[in-house]
Structure 1
Amino acid sequence: MKNLSPLQKARYQYTPKLPGMLRNGIAEICVKEGLPTESVADQEKIKALFPNTYGEKEITFEKGKNTSLAKKQVVGVILSGGQAPGGHNVICGLYDALKATDKNNVLLGFKNGPSGLLDDDYIEFTDEYINEYRNTGGFDIIGSGRTKLETKEQFKVAAEVAKKHGITAIVIIGGDDSNTNAAVLAEYFAANNTGVQVIGCPKTIDGDLKNEDIECSFGFDTATKTYSEVIGNIERDANSAKKYWHFVKVMGRSASHVALECALETQPNICLISEEVAAKKMSLSQIADYIADSVAARAAKGMNFGVAIIPEGVVEFVPEFSVLIAEINELLAGAKADAFNALATWKEKYEFIKKGLTAASFAVFDILPETIQQQLFLERDPHGNVQVSLIESEKLFSALVKAKLAERKKAGTYNGKFNALHHFFGYEGRCAFPSNFDADYCYSLGYNAFMLIQYGFNGYLSKVSNLSRPAEEWVAGGMPITKMMNMERRHGEDKPVIKKALVELDGAPFKYFEARRATWAVETAYTYPGAIQYFGPSEVCDRTTVTLALEKGMLK
């Protein structure tokens, strides 16, 4: 190990905490079966698609005699999708449990995501190799990728690769789409009597892979604490300079869990919640007025500064904007796209757009800053649609607010100053050194995944719960992935997918935020979380997110 920082050296030495029942030694871990499960929705359709893996029982591990059959295990592991802090520890926990059971057990890491399985591109883990990645961030131990395992041709190749190496189980570490693929692969393996098990582990910093069983996906804790540290630093700077409004976009295209957690940690003046925008059918103009109200109220007190947190995907939740996007996609379908692209100037393109949109959608389009208008017509996705994720929503809303304030100044109802700065926090949190919570949680998920393999479970998600309590009190077990699934329309087809968890507007975290945000909007009530702490009192180093504490009644 060369060129290591002092923190790297110290983190290699950290021993992750396991749930109490997993500390007894593998020989003293038994299974307690729960009730049969059914999918969260569309039960008959999901059951028909997963006849071999549907309806299985939830299980928990307890202290007792291990009754599993002894056999050599050759396990493959895959990192799938975007990076999330703690992924290395899932692999380390899986490896340690394998080797603690039998030194002859083997762990193969397939490189660069699911494609590594299809290409038979792998590394066999050793103590020396594993030890260089303990308690570290990133997915560089084997790399990740976004190849989807969803066709019978792919499944056949996966089965052939598994047979070639004598693989008994595959662990897929990923988010909702990756674990959906894990469920489909598990069903294929079962239907074709391959003898290969598939186990999933819940990963995503967006926090939208959760339900009554999965309290938190790994990486969310570290990522939100990383973003909150920097937002807190920006708040301190804003309160020092007293002349800028900072618009901060954070990760979360499909849900606003990251934005809400960062707001709970830092108490900014404004935080938009996409789910609320959709529920209230708010327009872009209404959102801009809402922010402008805070700017004006603070300016009246001589505070021409503030901080606003913007979820990455908020514009997709604005009903009128969704209609606009749909019309633009239709406007540029087929040969019409060639006609549009052939136009030489933006002025010509603008007139083309004006003629092609309905009056209502053009009115929405026309209030957008020109830079945002042009972003809507830049790169298209493989299906020819607008890539909404490329829209700089933090700049969009600051521009709309600036226009609103100019109107108010002209009307004599506002006399402040408004200077905006923009930030986007995304990649900064994906590979951070995992917090103690994520280091412990991820190691437990990996260790627990092996227990599921040893007891012969297939199509299960590694589950660790009671996470708001000390690790000693965590509960380890597993749940059938099909329990989380429903049918959704994807690319013109009905497909089984894991249901995304959105921010619940009647949930404790949002209610806590809602009760305080009016004060935060006008006052300077910033809180400064500071950097993630690894050494010191447990209440500082092992604390959970505010979201989890509120959901579990640990904070009022």
Structure 2
Amino acid sequence: MDISPLQRVRYAYQPKLPAILRESITKVAPQKGEATSAQSDADRIKALFPNTYGLPRVSFLSGVNTDISKKRNVGVILSGGQAPGGHNVISGIFDALKAANRENTLYGFKGGPSGILEDSYRIIDEEYLAAFRNTGGFDIIGSGRTKLETEEQFEVCAQVCKNHEIDALVIIGGDDSNTNAAVLAEYFLAKGHGIQVIGCPKTIDGDLKNESIEISFGFDTATKTYSELIGNIERDANSAKKYWHFIKLMGRSASHIALECALETQPNVCLISEEVEAKEQSLVSIVDYIAKIVAERAEDGNNFGVALIPEGLIEFIPEIKVLISQINNLLAKEEKAFNKIADGSERIAFVAERLSKETAKVFTILPEEIQKQLLMDRDPHGNVQVSRIETDKLLAQMVEEKLSGMKKEGTYTGKFSSMTHFFGYEGRCAFPTNFDADYCYSLGYNAFLLIGSGLSGYLSSVTNLAAPAEEWKAGGIPITMMMNMEVRHGEDKPVIKKALVELDGKPFQYFAEHRDKWARETCYTYPGAVQYFGPAEVCDLTTVTLALEQTR
């Protein structure tokens, strides 16, 4: 047996489209709305993007668009980390492209942006695509993290496209990838290359969003996958009644994944990085908060619990944020001297001696393993790689030490045993939920309509997502409207602004209203496995976050 029964059945699933995208493709026309402006730094963004700044929003309505039928070749690139549904974006592009003109061709560039620089591609046809429809992963053409950001690279891209008579590129990626798409679109227009660039919003982190990008694809599947696992652990904890489980959840900077999983499973503790930063909570105060909940549950005879920890938490704790900043600067300045030291303990001593007095105190109270993790290689942006820092183990260990002290003082009489987990890669390539299968297919189909409307520098946008798919709205927004200026490698750069958890938003407010009850009592909910067949209220269910955000 080459494939599983579920995989075979999923190949045949026909994703649902918004009503407007079910029309004959020549009977769908763009309607331009109001002009747009950048998130912030408007004048500077406008100066950098004179050809794509201030473009109008676009909605698709019934109309006439005969131009869409002309022959086109389109290239597609998967960029950055995997997210469930990427294959369906490509499926949507392919089906729309063929609906417009059977002679159209789809070029899939292999291994991410480097594929176009190296002219490494494959023609995506119906036979090849059939094995990837409605499946997780990016293995159809692979992905990569090469950045398209220099004029030399842009000219290579232009020449490769011209060699294959490619009229448009679709870049499927997150905030950095779509920033690159905006820069590339601007360059092509400025140089008169005649090559369109359209982006599609991908990231399980959920931090690529605004009123026109209500959710980034993959977030729905990833959070449901993690929530199933968390629910299983909650059931086990409530059965064994002897472990506290500390679960770190992928999400880089923003806490959207942790918040959504908390809303789905109602754990005893869920930390939200954005709240920690807003309240300037110290590491000690966070440990005290968790220890207090452990002690209160122990008073009720419940020596067990579940705590959710966002991946990026460590960077939002004020004194740790300062520590990371000082370490980054120190390692940048004294990289050669530091790299000559092989022994881990000596490396720690080297850094501790060169930190400010207050920051050195913070560094020394951390467990040695965490100290070593803070000194590991930086990511391409020069940032600490937070996924490697075992915040779950750090908090479990510090809570245990706090409870030990409380026991000596006679203020705690319970038992504490902890287990730690990191849920990340388990959710990035999962079989897409019906929601993500439908949404991603719609994003891809919609992306080709943007191309067929002669647009460039736009992000494919499908909205009204808490409603049934037939009521979804299709269109596009200029990528520049999501941008601001940020310092990258010591220079101001235009980038898409990350959307963090809004503390005055409905999802967080609902969580805040209920967390005290969830902390003391055992209120676990068990989402169970993702369902693909059955009632729509079960199979097509969207995230709690999206449902709350769109509650009138």
Q: Retained in 1: the 8 A contact 2:26–2:68?
A: no
Shift, 1:514, TM fit: 0.2
The Cα offsets for residues 340-370 of structure 1, whole Å up to 9 and x where unpaired, read as: 8537572x55544443222211221222112
- Who is 2:516 aligned against? 518
Q: For 2:27 and 2:410, how far apart are their aligned partners in 1?
A: 75
- Who is 2:243 aligned against? 244
Q: For 1:179 and 1:384, how far apart are their aligned partners in 2?
A: 20
1:264 alignment partner, SS class = helix
Q: For 1:334 and 1:160, how far apart are their aligned partners in 2?
A: 39
Q: Retained in 1: the 8 A contact 2:71–2:103?
A: yes
Calculate the aligned-residue CA RMSD, in Å.
1.6
- Who is 1:189 aligned against? 188
1:223 alignment partner, SS class = helix
- Who is 1:502 aligned against? 500
Q: For 1:343 and 1:25, how far apart are their aligned partners in 2?
A: 65
Name the amino acid aligned to 2:86.
G
TM-score normalised to the size of structure 2? Answer: 0.97
Q: For 1:405 and 1:112, how far apart are their aligned partners in 2?
A: 49
Name the amino acid aligned to 1:305.
F
Asked if 1:168 is matched to 2:159, the reply is no
Distance 1:191 1:15, change over 3 A: same
Name the amino acid aligned to 2:248.
K
Distance 1:300 1:54, change over 3 A: same
Which stretch of structure 1 is more off in the superposition, 336-345 or 471-480?
336-345
- Who is 2:232 aligned against? 233
- Who is 2:37 aligned against? 38
- 1:168-317 equivalence runs, <5 A: 168-317=167-316
Pick from 453, 463, 466 the counterpart of residue 464 of structure 2.
466
The Cα offsets for residues 208-257 of structure 1, whole Å up to 9 and x where unpaired, read as: 00011110000000000000000000000000010000000001111000
Name the amino acid aligned to 1:94.
I
- Who is 2:318 aligned against? 319
Q: Retained in 1: the 8 A contact 2:381–2:488?
A: no
2:421 alignment partner, SS class = strand
Name the amino acid aligned to 2:493.
K
The Cα offsets for residues 166-213 of structure 1, whole Å up to 9 and x where unpaired, read as: 000000000000000000000011111111100000000000000111
Q: Retained in 1: the 8 A contact 2:93–2:444?
A: yes
Q: For 1:75 and 1:344, how far apart are their aligned partners in 2?
A: 52
Q: For 2:30 and 2:383, how far apart are their aligned partners in 1?
A: 48
- Who is 2:26 aligned against? 27
Q: Retained in 2: the 8 A contact 1:340–1:352?
A: no
- Who is 2:393 aligned against? 395
Q: For 1:68 and 1:339, how far apart are their aligned partners in 2?
A: 61
- Who is 1:451 aligned against? 449
Distance 1:522 1:542, change over 3 A: same
Name the amino acid aligned to 2:445.
Y
- Who is 1:439 aligned against? 437
2:238 alignment partner, SS class = helix
Distance 1:288 1:86, change over 3 A: same
Which stretch of structure 1 is more off in the superposition, 35-44 or 270-279?
35-44
Pick from 486, 489, 496 the counterpart of residue 488 of structure 1.
486
Name the amino acid aligned to 2:267.
P
Unaligned 5+ segments in structure 2 are none
Shift, 1:64, TM fit: 2.1
- Who is 1:158 aligned against? 157
2:296 alignment partner, SS class = helix
Q: For 2:334 and 2:34, how far apart are their aligned partners in 1?
A: 56
Which stretch of structure 1 is more off in the superposition, 500-509 or 32-41?
32-41
Pick from 363, 373, 378 the counterpart of residue 365 of structure 1.
363
Q: For 1:345 and 1:474, how far apart are their aligned partners in 2?
A: 55
- Who is 2:476 aligned against? 478
The Cα offsets for residues 19-59 of structure 1, whole Å up to 9 and x where unpaired, read as: 00111111211221101111111111111111111111111
Q: For 1:162 and 1:253, how far apart are their aligned partners in 2?
A: 34
Q: Retained in 1: the 8 A contact 2:74–2:170?
A: yes
1:356 alignment partner, SS class = coil
Distance 1:226 1:381, change over 3 A: closer
Shift, 1:384, TM fit: 7.1
1:78 alignment partner, SS class = strand
Q: Retained in 2: the 8 A contact 1:174–1:201?
A: yes
Shift, 1:386, TM fit: 4.4
Q: For 2:383 and 2:11, how far apart are their aligned partners in 1?
A: 45
Which stretch of structure 1 is more off in the superposition, 424-433 or 46-55?
46-55
Q: For 2:414 and 2:485, how far apart are their aligned partners in 1?
A: 51
Q: Retained in 1: the 8 A contact 2:69–2:100?
A: no
Distance 1:177 1:236, change over 3 A: same
Q: For 2:338 and 2:56, how far apart are their aligned partners in 1?
A: 57
Distance 1:487 1:352, change over 3 A: closer
Q: Retained in 1: the 8 A contact 2:348–2:371?
A: no
Q: For 1:242 and 1:350, how far apart are their aligned partners in 2?
A: 39
Q: For 1:94 and 1:69, how far apart are their aligned partners in 2?
A: 13
The Cα offsets for residues 419-466 of structure 1, whole Å up to 9 and x where unpaired, read as: 110110100000000000000000000000010111100101110000
- Who is 2:56 aligned against? 57
The Cα offsets for residues 273-328 of structure 1, whole Å up to 9 and x where unpaired, read as: 00000000110000000111110001111111000000001000011001112222
Distance 1:388 1:135, change over 3 A: closer
- Who is 1:543 aligned against? 541
Q: For 1:402 and 1:7, how far apart are their aligned partners in 2?
A: 44
1:200 alignment partner, SS class = strand
Q: Retained in 1: the 8 A contact 2:501–2:508?
A: yes
Distance 1:198 1:299, change over 3 A: same
Q: For 2:147 and 2:342, how far apart are their aligned partners in 1?
A: 37
Distance 1:340 1:358, change over 3 A: farther
- Who is 1:100 aligned against? 99
Distance 1:494 1:385, change over 3 A: closer
- Who is 1:374 aligned against? 372
Q: For 1:313 and 1:103, how far apart are their aligned partners in 2?
A: 47
- Who is 1:11 aligned against? 10
Q: For 2:47 and 2:500, how far apart are their aligned partners in 1?
A: 27
Unaligned 5+ segments in structure 1 are none
Q: Retained in 2: the 8 A contact 1:332–1:340?
A: no
- Who is 1:120 aligned against? 119
Q: Percent identity?
A: 67
Q: For 1:99 and 1:481, how far apart are their aligned partners in 2?
A: 26
Name the amino acid aligned to 2:446.
N
Q: Retained in 2: the 8 A contact 1:259–1:309?
A: yes
TM-score normalised to the size of structure 1? Answer: 0.97
Q: For 1:338 and 1:285, how far apart are their aligned partners in 2?
A: 33
Which stretch of structure 1 is more off in the superposition, 502-511 or 403-412?
403-412
1:247 alignment partner, SS class = strand
Q: Retained in 2: the 8 A contact 1:30–1:67?
A: no
